[in-house]
Amino acid sequence: MLSLLAATPALPLDEAGKYVAGAYVVFLALIVVYVAIMAAKLQRIERELRELATFAEARAGADRAAPAPEEVGADV
């Protein structure tokens, strides 16, 4: 391995540049992919929350329209 290292001196900038760029682009790509996945998750949460809010509002509206339990009990 030492001989391998000795045989591989510093790369010229143009050749080394693509490796350095590759490493940093991979890192950036991983972060972007992670953020994209999280954004998709947040969109799903937001959509479900909107559905639940609509459902809760509809249910609250139906409860207001229906007679209260005390009134039903009084009738009986």
Partner 1 sequence: MYGKGLRPLSIATVAALVVSLSLVFFYAPLDGDQGFIQKIFYLHVPLAIVALVGIVIGGVFAIAHLRSGDSRWDAYSYVSIHMSVIFGVAVLITGSIWAKASWGHWWVWDEPTLVSFLIVFLMYATYYPFRYAIEDRDQQARYASVFAIVAGAFVPLNFMAVRMAQSLVHPRVFATTNGGLPGSMMLTFLASLLAIGLLWVTLVKFELTAKSASGQLKRLRRALDAPAPGGASRVAPEVS
Residues that bind partner 1 (CB under 8 A): 1-2, 4-5, 8, 10-13, 16-17, 19-20, 22-24, 26-27, 30-31, 34, 38, 41-42, 45, 48-49, 52-53, 55-57, 59-60, 62-63, 66, 68-69
User: In the chain, what is the straight-line distance between the N-terminal and C-terminal CA atoms, in Å?
Assistant: 93
Nearest approach in angstroms of CB 30 to partner 1 is 5
Fill in the DSSP letter of residue 45.
Answer: H
Nearest approach in angstroms of CB 24 to partner 1 is 6
CA distance 37 to 24: 20
Residue with tokens 């030492």: 2
